[in-house]
Structure 1
Amino acid sequence: MCGRYSFSKKKVPLAHRYAERLEGLTFEPNFDARPSQQLPVILSTAEKAVMATWADPTKQEDGKPILPFNVREENLLFIPRFRELLPKNRCIIPIDGFFEWKEVEEEEESSTQAHTPEIGLDLFGNPIRSEAEKKRLKKAKPLKQKYRFTLKQEEPFGLAGLWRETLHQDTGEHYPHFTIITTKANAAVEPYHDRMPVILTPHIENIWLDNRLQEKDYLKVLQPYDPRQMSVMAIDDYESMLGNYVAPKLNSK
């Protein structure tokens, strides 16, 4: 869930609440941000945003990553390494949109029919396929459509996250890494995925960054965002990586 998002400093107006935080931070526009990349994050312990790596795949003794690319809000209290980060290591990930993919079943069926040899039907009316055709269908990847989720006004917004510093074995320096917190999908996202990132309103951002509050105060703000304030559109997968959010042509995939 939420394995890709986009963010460009050029899209942050001077009057926006992120403008001052991002001042002095240099980074290229990223229209296909993904785990392992360095991206801007706003910390609860610093006035200015910093560059941090999305996720830390370094394995622990149990074989799980120290910091996955996302973590369920339901698990924050039950997994010790995440609960330890909650008091002081909360962060906001500034973005201008995130992406999800959904299988396109109808087009996939049409494609399957086009490749299925006319070799008759069985007693139940199902097509009889050769062994080669069965192998081809088994290897075939499902066709997926890419969708972009934004706020209705398309202004930059923030996702709730956690961060931690990881010691680099070669240099001995500490580098920040972050993860995105997810919650159950709202009515805008649910048709495409059952989870969504926790989107913070400007008011809730202030709560999320306030280190004087208690654990319960942070947890209660991790809710699905108001779907009436969101927009979603089908987009061309390749064009979107260039920052061109254009709708794909019908049956073009």
Structure 2
Amino acid sequence: MALTEKEIARLKHPIAVPGMGLDVQETLKKANILVVGAGGLGCPVLQYLSLSGIGVIGIADYGVILEEDMHRQPIFQMQDLRKHKAKMASSRLWANNPWTKHYPILVQVKPANVLQLLQGFDLVIDCSQHIPTHLVVNDACVQQGVPFITGEVHNWVSWFGGFNLPDGKGGRTASYRCAAALIDSYRNYDAGALGTTHGLTGLAIVNEVIKYLAGVPGGLAGKLYKHDYLHNTIEAKQLAPDAAVLAATTLLTAEDYGLEIVPDVED
């Protein structure tokens, strides 16, 4: 998919980066990415995916904008309060970059619709920060062979990983379920949320997505990253796929996931 002259002029600085160029920028334009959740982690992910020139971004979120969350949701403005996050994110992103297609999807991701939602997307970024949703996304993506990224932010610490990605040998890297025990050790359920740590984590995720799409070796594939922003440390662990876990992965019921189903949005 060729870039227009206006896009080339707009993106001339990223294109000039060694290893990028027109070919990589056109690869980004061809990418279709589904982002689940337009909250504290989803906002910076959405902003920089769009600004990087991703061609199609789906925004799946059924929630509304609350003032108490705006310190970590910089897409939104005060006049957006109590409006739907997916709709307003799409509008705000388009205003900054009309060349990317931003599709608001005002639904809860659940077993009944997740397979349909995945259709046409090359990559899923799960920013829901919600364990039942992580599991729904994991099971559907493993079943459909779709690569995905999942992450969370807990106060000063965050983690994110690249799951079900091609391993370069004809197979797939570990799933979220394969790494569940390690991931759970990274969680910190103390109260509070910082805008800065959400922003830093979102930017780190998008940076890895760009590298993945550009074909840079290493990076996301089979990796779990832990960032401790208080002490300025980063850990990267290589994840091993668990054949038994992968073989047993199947889409379950909402009750099995412990997923509370909310009414559909009346638009």
Pairwise TM-score range, normalised by the shorter structure: under 0.3
> Per chain length, whose mean CA-contact separation is higher, i.e. which structure has more relative contact order (CA < 8 Å, sep 6+)?
1
More helix by share: 2
More strand by share: 1
TM-score (norm 1): 0.27
